[in-house]
Amino acid sequence: MAPLLEIQDLRVAYGKAAILKGVSLALEKGEVVGVIGPNGAGKTTLLRAIAGLTPSEGDIRYAGERINSLPAHRIVRRRVILCPERRRLFPEMSVRRNLEMGAYLRRDKAEIRRDLEEVLELFPALGRRLHNQAGTMSGGEQQMLAVARSLMSRPELLMLDEPSFGLAPLVKKAIMQTLLHIRRRGLTILLSEQDTKLAFEAVEKAYVLENGRINIAGSTESLLADPHVKEAYLGLA
């Protein structure tokens, strides 16, 4: 069977600056895969290209169809959802409104209501703050809201761009626990993280993106044993 997501020789440039210089990767349905790499390596660029938010060359195939010519809203309709870097909530809107925005392309009202109940079970703290302005919540609560909003789009492939960014260690752990929980529902997840140790708690394999190229890829166990990964990303000499 073909992978759910298959990327071949993906190239993205901003003006003359080549950022992705031929990236290839594949995700099987139900896999939880990480993209790690230093600041500026192109992780966000990769996720944005998949989401149709950045023009790209090469091939991004989703469920067998080339999607890098599609506008972003068509990609959302395919249930390929990006939970963006730094959350991008609507801070003036209530928590409830933010969650509803996640379902803005859907017309299945009864199912939306059911999904809302489900995400509130997953994130009880949000249920207690449904009428609060999103911008008044703590960083951790806002990140949970961002993940919950993405779930309201009923993702088949959920891409999370640095969900632990700026959070305290315990809150980071809580976010990862949630990912472990949602992966059990059979979602396919692509997680970009700078906190490699943390990412390795949630993913089964990872791609290491450096200077616009995938330099190393493999199972979490093999990466944990890789000398370069140990030194550069795990702080182990």
Ligand X SMILES: Nc1ncnc2c1ncn2[C@@H]1O[C@H](COP(=O)(O)OP(=O)(O)OP(=O)(O)O)[C@@H](O)[C@H]1O
Task: State the residues that interact with ligand X by CB under 6 A.
Answer: 14, 19, 37, 39-45, 85, 194
> Stretches 38-46, 64-72, 167-175, 228-236: which one binds Mg ion (CB under 5 A)?
38-46
With DSSP H G I counted as helix, E B as strand and the rest as coil, what are the percentages for the chain, rounded to 5?
Answer: 40, 25, 35
Of residues 36 and 187, the one with the C-beta less far from Mg ion = 36
- Comparing CB distances to ligand X, the nearer of 194 and 215 is 194
Judged by CB, which is closer to ligand X: 60, or 116?
A: 60
Pick one of ligand X, Mg ion, none as the site partner of residue 14 (Cβ within 5 to 8 A by kind).
Answer: ligand X
Is the torsion defined by CA of 140, 145, 148, 149 positive or negative?
A: negative
Kindly state the number of chain residues that form the binding site for Mg ion, as judged by CB under 5 A.
3
What span, in angstroms and rounded, lies between the C-alpha atoms of 31 and 62? 14
Q: Quick check: 56 binds Mg ion (CB under 5 A)?
A: no
Residue 226 beta carbon to ligand X: minimum distance, rounded to whole angstroms: 19
Distance CA 236, CA 224 (A): 10
Sole binder of Mg ion in the list 44, 68, 143, 188 (CB under 5 A): 44
Q: What is the smallest separation between the CB atom of 181 and ligand X, expressed in angstroms? A: 25
Q: Which residues contact 14 (CB under 8 A, 6 or more apart)?
A: none
Cβ distance to ligand X smaller for residue 115 or 162: 162
Q: Which residues pair with 57 in a beta bridge?
A: 11
Distance CA 136, CA 123 (A): 17
Q: What is the CA radius of gyration of the chain?
A: 17
For residue 152, the partner it binds in ligand X, Mg ion, none, with Cβ less than 5 to 8 A by kind, is none
